[in-house]
Amino acid sequence: MIISENEQQPIYDLHCHSTASDGLLSPAEVVSEADARGVRYLALTDHDTLGGLAAARDAASDKSLCLINGIELTCIWQRHCIHVLGLGFDAESPSFGPYLARLDALRLERAERIARKLEQKRLPNLLEEALAIAAGGQIGRPHFAAALISAGIVETAQEAFERFLGRNKPGDVKVDWPDIAEAVEVIKLAGGLSVIAHPTKYNLTFTKIRQLCDDFKALGGDGLEISYPGVIPDHTRELQRISSQRGLLVSGGSDFHSNNNRWSALGRFPALPVEGGHLLRALNAII
Ligand code: AMP
Ligand code: MN
Ligand code: MN
Ligand code: MN
């Protein structure tokens, strides 16, 4: 992949989801829609699965869009649940096999526990419905949100998270996710770059975010997502400082899941030019 001279500021999106996890478009639809929106560099980053990448690659084969292998790994840093993006890795790398099998098992077991917890709140058992909605994709809380909507218990996913699934609610069961060191390592073993996703969305103070970035850099982490929907300009500027002080690259992405609200679209997040220190330039060198 070469970012050409006359393409200094390509449209890109290094964070989005498909039906392989909790997105609503199939991998092929994600690629087609990104292409139609002029996205030149797209990473499909489903939660804890590579299941969408082959279909996405097929769909990209007759387009000028450059598909970058991606994943969003759920992991733990100091008891906080953190998301680490892996980008530009070899999807055939044997290191992923056991790691992702462990995440499959953790997520299935968590789903069973979420269903039991909700039953204790006198709700029907939603496990089968949530699994049916996930339809073979990696199971997550959004599938329970959809099941709660289809059972007529809540009206929106937002309400489902506020009442049942969000932080400290009954469906927020504790999971022994892999440590962040393991997430960084598995991505590195597969030849990819690792990026802390949406750092302001973990309820951490900036002091804690700086510590997280120190630890991440020491572990061999590569970058920090500093532009994404909902981040305020002051925070992006501070995250940019935090990155450059630590030699972390910067990244941006839409975290697209669906077209259900008008703020969310592939390729849409506050402008982050592809300049020195941008992760896309480093990816350019490895894929
Ligand atoms: P999980 O990976 O199963 O823990 O679920 C986390 C996912 O739930 C995130 O990636 C979002 O897609 C979604 N999510 C988190 N909070 C909310 C919310 N308040 N409303 C709707 N979706 C949410
Ligand atoms: Mn999600
Ligand atoms: Mn995330
Ligand atoms: Mn995401």
Torsion angles phi and psi, residue 10, rounded to 5? -70, 155
| Residue 158 Cβ contacting ligand 1 at under 6 Å | yes
- Separation of CA 210 and ligand 1 centre (Å): 24
Return the pLDDT at 3: 67
5 Cα: distance to centroid of ligand 1 (angstroms): 38
pTM beyond 0.95? yes
Is the shortest distance between the CB of 270 and ligand 1 below 6 Å? no
Angle between helices 206-218 and 233-246 (to 10 degrees): 30
The predicted structure's pLDDT at residue 4: 62
Q: Which atom of ligand 1 is nearest to the CA of 48?
A: 2
Task: Name residues of the chain where pLDDT drops below 70.
Answer: 1-8
Q: For residues 228 and 197, what is the distance between their CA atoms, to the nearest angstrom?
A: 9
Tell me whether residue 24 is exposed, middle or buried, using C-beta atoms within 10 angstroms of its C-beta: 0 to 12, 13 to 18, 19 or more: middle
What pLDDT does 1 receive? 58
Question: How high is the pLDDT of residue 6?
Answer: 58
- Residue 85 φ/ψ, nearest 5 degrees: -85, 135
Ramachandran class of 4: left when φ > 0, alpha when ψ lies in -120 to 50, beta otherwise: beta
pLDDT tens profile 114-131: 999 999 999 999 999 999
Phi, psi of 41 (to 5 degrees): -125, 120
Closest CA relative to residue 178, chosen from 115, 251, 104: 104
Give the residue whose CA is nearest to atom 20 of ligand 1.
158
| Ligand 1 nearest-atom number relative to CA 139 | 3
43-58 pLDDT, tens digit each: 999 999 999 999 999 9
Q: 145 is written with which tokens? A: 């949100």
Q: Residue 160 CA: which ligand 1 atom is closest?
A: 20
225 and 85 in contact (C-beta within 8 Å)? Answer: yes
